[in-house]
Amino acid sequence: MRVIIGADSYGIELKEIIKDFLIQQNYNVLDVTVADMDFVDNTLSVVREVLSDDSNLGIMIDAYGVGPFMTATKVKGLVVAEVSDERSAYMTRAHNNSRMITIGSQIVGVELAKNIVKGFLDGQYDGGRHQIRVDMLNKMC
């Protein structure tokens, strides 16, 4: 698995902290951030890399997490969640097979952000009864 990470100017500081955290945890990390691009372009860069390999997961950080969430949900075949707590991050993998999360740097602090990322990456898709919804989500857009 490769973790694709990106940020806009409001998320760069937290992104660097999360990237270092992931590297310390021995994750393969690809940072696709271009500092002078806005959240739409940076989000689409994360999305492209996530979709390039079924094992890839993505994290996009901006001020509030909302803009990247709205951007990524426009892309067919990708389930994305905007999260601000550990449990939601874990459960969106387990029940929705989300492959990308968005985080707001002005919503969560550093330690919570680390726990959110850990929950997301530790989560495993449960399949079963959840697959019907996942299929429905993947057909949208």
Note the pLDDT tens digit of each residue in 107-118: 999 999 999 999
Helix (H, G, I), strand (E, B) or coil at 98: coil
Tens digit of each residue's pLDDT (9 = 90 or more) over 17-74: 999 999 999 999 999 999 999 999 999 999 999 999 999 999 999 999 999 999 999 9
Amino acid at 34: V
Percentage with pLDDT > 70 across the chain: 99
Residue 49: give its domain's CATH number: 3.40.1400.10
Residue pair 53/46 in contact by the 8 Å Cβ criterion = no
Number of domains in the chain: 1
Domain containing residue 31: 2-139
Cα gap 139→99, rounded to integer Å: 15
